[in-house]
Structure 1
Amino acid sequence: MKDYVLLIAALYGALGIIFGAFGAHALKKIFSEDLLKSFETGVKYQLYHAIVLLIIGFQFSFTETLQTAVAWCFIIGIFLFSFSIYGFCISSAKGKKLRFLGPITPLGGLLLVIGWILLGVSFF
């Protein structure tokens, strides 16, 4: 699990930089200011949580179920939260808003919150 978490952390980190640059340059021309802010929020949360995944990947032994649950909450939460924002923003800018992505974003956010709570619990 440790290697998997570290690999995903690196992948999310690299993609966060790529998406951030893409948003700042290419999408700036086609996004409204509100869409650009939403896209940037997705990038920020992705990068913040990629760093957290990297840290727990190095610190956790993953011998306890709780540690594995923390990692999965962050991995799935990042994907659902950030990537649903990217999809929603891009589809909105193209005039084909993917409305089904709307409820996915808070679900991803909830998993991130649960991941943080479980991380706190893991310290005890």
Structure 2
Amino acid sequence: MLSPEKEKIKKLKKKLRIQEKKNAEIRDQMATQRTVFANERTLMAYLRTAMTISAGGFVAIKLSDDMYLEVIGIILIPIGIILAAYSFTRYRHKQKLIEGHNQDYRPTSHEHERAHHNRYGSESPDGLP
């Protein structure tokens, strides 16, 4: 038989292991959320740049009397449109990769399984609500 003090230490170590596991799962979920936000920030940066390039093209066409500035404007407008289209396709591709990672996620504790189900709406393997 273990002494009461050793039994208490054993229970405490078990609680700590469980808490460390929960903390690791929370860190993983937060990392996924940070990745989603980073992907959205990147999309916004691409769109901001595309709008600036297109606006520069319009300004070059409307405000210039020189032919070479009009040509530059005519070139800049499609570049901005192409960049905007590229940004959407890039964003969607990265978002699908992130969603694939979320589908592969398997919680290792019941609390996190419920939290994952509530957050992402996926069916839990154990049928938990």
**Which TM bucket (shorter chain)?**
0.3 to 0.5
Q: Computing the radius of gyration over CA atoms, which structure comes out larger, 1 or 2?
A: 2
Q: Identify which of structures 1 and 2 has the higher relative contact order when contacts are C-alpha pairs closer than 8 Å and 6+ apart.
A: 1
User: TM-score, length-normalised on structure 2?
Assistant: 0.40
